[in-house]
Amino acid sequence: MYRKEVPQGKSEKDSCRVPAISAGALKARMDRGEILNIIDIRLPHELAMGSLPGAVFIPLAKLISAMEGLDPAKETVLVCKNGENSEIAAIELLEQGYKGSLVNLAGGMNAWARDVNSSMPEGIASTKTNLLPGTISYPAIKVSGKNKEIAAVDESVIEEMPLTIFFNGHEMITILASVGEEEFLTTGFLASEGIIKEVGEIKAIKTDELRGIVSVETYTGEAAPEKLFLKRYLTACCGKGRSGFSYASDAVTAKKVTGSVSLTLQDITNYSQILESNSKLFQATGAVHGGALVEGGRLIFFSFDIGRHNVFDKIYGRCLIEGISTHNKIMVFTGRVSSEILIKLSKMNISIIIARSAPTSLALDMAEALGITVIGFARGERLNIYTHAQRVIMDFNPKSKLP
């Protein structure tokens, strides 16, 4: 098993290396017409409170790679929400050899809103003690009812972050994802793309949650094979003459599923209820997909994300890391079943998916060929069985009409 590495926090010595400037002092220098590099490293949702005049937005995860574009002849002012992340960013730049002058806006944009521009909403992305994990509180104007009643409210909003994966020192891809389970997501993604064949190939994973970076080191130290990764090719789908696009890695890792698991109609209803009872984050925000891995009438674990594909990668990655076999397991899913979802199921060796939403035609073509049972529109007492219905045990109602 590989080791997971998490970066250590900054020391008091580090804090002394970066001079700070107050919001008032910065405003005075800007009013005098001083030429400054003002770099705003906040997350996209934090930009809603406003920005400094002339500021350039460079997310923290991209700052080091953008270092060469900074003019060292000008003093650089780093800005974040409260002054903490920008201080760390300045230390990172210095450690990477940046030669220019760096200062940190003390208190960040909250201090600017408080001391300079009172019309700017301080701390727009505030926190609440009763928030669900993975959400923030965001002010909104709510209009409701027949009389269009208007009220100022704080709404729970799902956190979205760009997660950049480095593979053996090479930047590989940036995934937009929900906050949390970055290790599972990265491992599942690498396995489903065929970059790794088993989790034992990974030597270490270093997660930098602040910058949104996951660095993966394998024992071979080789870069990801470009011939497989994200290279599309055209193929005839499922022997029906229909052309469809897929990833080259799919041709290597997708396989026909031969699971022997079966279930009753009541099992499907029960599993749908398990999914519903674990979807509190969707109920609070309406912005995430959820997936439940189930077996024998019980939940194994649940995962959520803003991206449908990410849900499957997180679950697959967790299974790989924790040594849980996916054979004869069932996936219950909130979203639409597309062809890409079918391919992920095939790679995970899962033979049954129960979805609240609809499948696509290409997904059903693939399901027939890959041996996967697709059950859609599983809501309440209704459902549709589209493919490989032999896995569903049905007690037929005499009034039922089947071909």
- Residue 119 pLDDT > 60: yes
The string of DSSP codes covering 155-192 is EEEE-EEEEEEEETTEEEEEEEEESS-HHHHHHHHHHH
- Residue 127 pLDDT > 60: no
Question: Which CATH class, in words, describes the domain spanning 160-239?
Answer: alpha beta
In angstroms, the CA 318 to CA 171 distance is 23
Angle between the 339-348 and 361-370 helix axes, to the nearest 10 degrees? 20
> 7-115 is classed in which CATH architecture?
3-Layer(aba) Sandwich (3.40)
Q: Do the beta carbons of residue 277 and residue 131 sit within 8 Å?
A: no
Residue ranges of the domains in the chain? 7-115, 130-158, 160-239, 263-393
Question: Which region among 23-37, 81-95, 108-122, 382-396 has the lowest average model confidence (pLDDT)?
Answer: 108-122
| Region of residue 314 (phi > 0: left; psi between -120 and 50: alpha; otherwise: beta) | alpha
Catalytic residue numbers read 238
Residue type for position 356: R
**For residue 131, what pLDDT is reported?**
66
* Element (DSSP H or E) covering residue 266: helix 265-277
Which of 31-35, 133-137, 313-317, 334-338 is the most confident on average?
Answer: 313-317
Which of 7-11, 112-116, 316-320 is the most confident on average?
Answer: 316-320
pLDDT tens column, 153-179 = 777 788 888 899 999 999 888 898 988
**For residue 128, what pLDDT is reported?**
43
Share of the chain above pLDDT 90, in %: 47
Residues whose CB is less than 8 angstroms from the CB of residue 118 and which lie 6 or more positions away in sequence, other chains included: none
Question: Which region among 15-29, 177-191, 321-335, 376-390 has the lowest average model confidence (pLDDT)?
Answer: 15-29
List the end-to-end C-alpha distance of the chain, in Å, as a whole number: 51
Pairing of strands 202-208, 3-5: parallel
Gyration radius from the chain CA atoms: 25
In angstroms, the CA 185 to CA 134 distance is 15
Q: Which has more pLDDT, 134 or 14?
A: 134
**For residue 123, what pLDDT is reported?**
53
**For residue 399, what pLDDT is reported?**
56
Residue type for position 388: H
Question: Which CATH class, in words, describes the domain spanning 263-393?
Answer: alpha beta
Q: Which has more pLDDT, 84 or 235?
A: 84
In angstroms, the CA 2 to CA 218 distance is 9
